[in-house]
Amino acid sequence: MYVVTSYPVAVALCFITMLCWGSWANTQKLASKEWRFQLFYWDYAIGVLLLALILAFTLGSSGGGGRGFLADLSQARGHWLGSAFMGGVIFNLSNILLVAAIDIAGMAVAFPVGVGLALVIGVVSTYAVSPQGNVALLGLGVSCVGVAIILDALAYRRLAAGSRRAPAKGILLSVVAGVLMGFFYSYVARSIGEISGAGAAAVLEPGKLSPYTAIVLFSAGLLASNFVWNTLIMLRPFVGDPVAFSDYFTQGSVRLHAVGILGGMIWNLGMAFSIIASSAASPALSYGLGQGATMVAAFWGVFVWKEFKDAPGTGRMLGAMFVFFLVGLALLVAARHA
């Protein structure tokens, strides 16, 4: 399998992760003009697994280090296979709720509130288990992110007051998505074995998974759980009438299906690169760049999709939201090495 040992390469992969995680939802915005997000999400889930398999049979099966994908899959213990799979199940419920929030409230609201909350939960839970870093900087960073979330919610409330949107529902879905999203990653991370050595001499911990195998199991869990989570939301949608399964085949053009699959592949490319680069990139770098995706998504929502154009007087509020979020991220990154 291909193992990243170069720091500059790891930096580049982490930056790509930030762009992928912050930009994939643009495909939903494009597709939602023509059909419901539940139908888009079937193609998204297919795209996630498709990208995982492509990486597993290319980068995950080439090079002299570690184990190839099929060899790694055959030696893996069931417990770790289940852990990566469960990570996909948990993430999928979180992400479906996030997609529903995007459909109701837009990218500029769902990402800062949902992913921002996941960031806060992740920092607090990580510190509770392993108290490392400067607690004062951690607390200040979490507070700044919290202020950014509140400012974004207040701006959306002002937008909703002049439209037919349901502010409480959009915010609530973002919050629940954020809570769930704060916990899924640990299931995947625990299943991945430690890599010792470099290049052809790299040795992967036996019984556990390579990053590529973990991504495949995670993606399989996401797609399999879609038959439960997405089916429920099709039958009992948060907004509008129930969605028929036949609509997926009768209403979807080749372009619409391709857009959804592309969205899933973009997101999972970011997930894969984040995991692949983690052994060579510093934790502060990978953490900071990964969470920067929130601001990338907010940028798309505010400046490209113009989601707040009908909410006069929110410019300063949104500007302050960007500032508080960026300052919070910087403090959290600094706290880990302070």
pTM attached to this predicted model: 0.86
In a domain, 154, yes or no: yes
User: Span 115-132, mean pLDDT?
Assistant: 74
Q: Which has more pLDDT, 97 or 288?
A: 97
Closest CA to 172 of 120, 101, 91: 101
Residue 63 pLDDT class (50, 70, 90 cuts): confident
In a domain, 1, yes or no: no
Residue 119 pLDDT class (50, 70, 90 cuts): confident
User: Span 27-56, mean pLDDT?
Assistant: 95
Spacing of C-alpha 308 from chain mean position? 23
What kind and span of H or E run contains 155?
A: helix 135-161
pLDDT in tens, 169-226: 888 999 999 999 888 888 888 899 988 876 666 788 999 999 999 999 999 999 999 9
* Domain count of the fold of the chain: 1
Domain span at residue 314 reads: 7-335
User: Span 294-308, mean pLDDT?
Assistant: 87
In a domain, 94, yes or no: yes
Residue 160 pLDDT class (50, 70, 90 cuts): low
In a domain, 2, yes or no: no
Residue 286 pLDDT class (50, 70, 90 cuts): low
Q: Distance between CA 29 and CA 338 in Å, rounded?
A: 40
Does pLDDT of 4 surpass 90?
no
Tokens at 245, concatenated:
């399964």
In a domain, 35, yes or no: yes
Q: Distance between CA 22 and CA 18 in Å, rounded?
A: 6
Residues in the chain: 338
Supply the DSSP symbol for 215.
H
For residue 34, the one-letter residue type is: E
Q: Distance between CA 96 and CA 92 in Å, rounded?
A: 6
